[in-house]
């Protein structure tokens, strides 16, 4: 049979993976910038609007991830209850582990955002508790970035999603997209005017960090494609769909051109333009990150289930000429059918 891409996970799942990764990457980037001395002030401002907006700009990542989780529930449709049963069997299931990590990040991150937005005085008066809450959010956010890659890896019948290079690539794109989102958030904070200088410094530092992440992302993308090309037939078919097949415009134009090359050129040529250049680079980075996830889902080619050949051999052996059929099967198939027959007592 010809190798065909899967069609079950498409736009909604791509958006879920994208928003989940961007929200988590935003939280990690915001914390890293704060530890480096570039954070936006989370404290009582002259008006409630300033407090709400600045808090969201610095700590809004969990809200973005929560929107992505809603898209997953929407994708489940009538099976929405699966969202509540997915957390079972966390000891052996990566899907269940990811459910708890993602839920914890949303819950703890939104709680921290609520404190910053509506009770900044409490955060100022309880520095140790606030820092512990920050460390918890960052840890859960880092786990969420990894989970977005491991979720695909748990689909055992699609070999193009199995390489660890894909998991690493999704982590890099999550951090890059989250940093780009932080740049846009800092630009929004600067529009308020109350923290213009601080926001400008944050955006400049985040922009420089994003350039490094984009270079890492490009290296991991090349490594992932090399892994596919050296793999089996289904992996090679997925690579061909990306490089010169149906998905080549999206890959070369949106992922490589817009998502990687354009922001690097903006950084080299137009950084002096200030906010417009930073915001433009951030937008194209986010566009490339979403298109990458959509493309990876679209070209995932399904392998044969592991027991398909055995079922065919058993079907052949159960006919009226069973003994002769077993003799005509390949050696491995004949041995497998004989073992099944022996255990069944036939």
**156-181 as b/e: b if 16+ CB within 10 A:** ebbbbbbbebbbbbbbbbbbbbbbbb
Q: What is the pLDDT, as a whole number, of residue 321?
A: 42
Q: What angle do CA 332, 334, 339 make, to 5 degrees?
A: 95
Picking from 261, 260, 222, 257, the residue whose alpha carbon sits closest to that of residue 239 is: 222
Q: What is the mean pLDDT of residues 304-324?
A: 52
What's the CA gap between 1 and 15, in Å, rounded? 31
Domain residue spans of the chain: 11-222, 308-344
What's the CA gap between 197 and 100, in Å, rounded? 38
Does residue 79 register a pLDDT over 70?
no
Residues across the chain:
346
Does residue 108 register a pLDDT over 80?
yes
pLDDT digits 0-9 by tens, 10-43: 888 899 899 999 999 999 999 999 899 888 777 6
Q: What is the mean pLDDT of residues 119-129?
A: 82
Q: Which CA distances in Å does 123 have to 71, 76, 341?
A: 32, 38, 69
**245-279 as b/e: b if 16+ CB within 10 A:** eebeebbeebbbebbbebbeebbeeeeeeeeebbb
**55: confidence class by pLDDT, cuts 50, 70, 90:** confident
Q: What is the pLDDT, as a whole number, of residue 328?
A: 42
Q: What is the pLDDT, as a whole number, of residue 61?
A: 93
Q: What is the mean pLDDT of residues 109-115?
A: 91
Q: What is the pLDDT, as a whole number, of residue 10?
A: 80
Output 93 or 7, whichever has higher pLDDT: 7
**DSSP 3-state of 200:** helix
The label of the residue with tokens 């309880």 reads 126
Counting Cβ atoms within 10 Å, is residue 44 exposed (0-12), middle (13-18) or buried (19+)? Answer: middle
CATH topology of domain 11-222: Formate dehydrogenase/DMSO reductase fold (1.20.1630)
Q: Is the dihedral of CA 249, 252, 254, 258 positive or negative?
A: negative
Q: Which CA distances in Å does 81 have to 72, 84, 85, 300?
A: 12, 5, 7, 26
The label of the residue with tokens 């008066």 reads 125
pLDDT digits 0-9 by tens, 244-259: 888 888 899 999 999 9
The label of the residue with tokens 């979720």 reads 151
Does residue 222 register a pLDDT over 60?
yes
Does residue 229 register a pLDDT over 70?
yes
The token pair that represents 61 in the structure block: 């990542």
Query: Which residues is 158 bridged to in the sheet?
Result: 302
Average pLDDT, the chain: 79
Q: What is the pLDDT, as a whole number, of residue 346?
A: 42
pLDDT digits 0-9 by tens, 165-213: 999 999 999 999 999 999 888 887 777 666 667 788 888 888 889 889 9
Q: Which CA distances in Å does 207 have to 41, 191, 215, 218?
A: 19, 18, 13, 17
What pTM, to 2 d.p., does this model score? 0.80
HSE (side-chain half, CA atoms, 13 Å) at 333: 18
């Amino acid at each position: 049979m010809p190798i065909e891409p899967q069609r079950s996970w498409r736009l909604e799942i791509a958006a879920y993976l994208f928003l989940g990764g961007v929200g988590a990457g935003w939280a990690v980037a915001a914390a890293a910038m704060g530890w480096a001395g570039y954070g936006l002030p989370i404290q009582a401002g002259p008006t409630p609007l300033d407090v709400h907006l600045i808090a969201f700009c610095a700590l809004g990542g969990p809200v973005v991830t929560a929107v992505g989780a809603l898209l997953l529930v929407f994708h489940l449709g009538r099976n929405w209850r699966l969202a509540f049963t997915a957390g079972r069997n966390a000891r052996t299931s990566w899907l269940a582990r990811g459910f708890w990590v993602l839920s914890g990040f949303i819950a703890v991150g939104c709680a921290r955002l609520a404190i910053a937005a509506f009770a900044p005085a409490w955060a100022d008066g309880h520095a140790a508790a606030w820092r512990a809450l920050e460390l918890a959010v960052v840890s859960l956010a880092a786990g969420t970035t990894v989970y977005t890659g491991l979720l695909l890896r748990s689909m055992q019948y699609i070999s193009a999603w199995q390489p660890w290079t894909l998991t690493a690539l999704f982590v890099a794109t999550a951090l890059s997209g989250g940093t780009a989102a932080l740049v846009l958030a800092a630009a929004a904070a600067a529009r308020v005017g109350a923290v213009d200088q601080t926001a400008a410094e944050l955006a400049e530092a985040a922009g420089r960090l994003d350039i490094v992440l984009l270079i890492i992302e490009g290296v991991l993308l090349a490594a992932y494609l090399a892994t596919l090309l050296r793999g089996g037939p289904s992996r090679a078919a997925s690579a061909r769909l990306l490089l010169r097949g149906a998905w080549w415009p999206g890959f070369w134009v949106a992922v490589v051109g817009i998502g990687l090359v354009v922001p690097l050129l903006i950084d080299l040529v137009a950084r002096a333009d200030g906010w417009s250049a930073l915001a433009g680079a951030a937008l194209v980075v986010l566009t490339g990150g979403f298109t990458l996830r959509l493309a990876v889902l679209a070209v995932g080619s399904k392998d044969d289930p592991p027991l398909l050949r055995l079922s065919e051999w058993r079907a052949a052996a159960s006919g009226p000429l069973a003994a002769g059929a077993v003799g005509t099967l390949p050696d491995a198939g004949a041995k497998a059918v004989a073992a099944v027959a022996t255990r069944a007592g036939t």
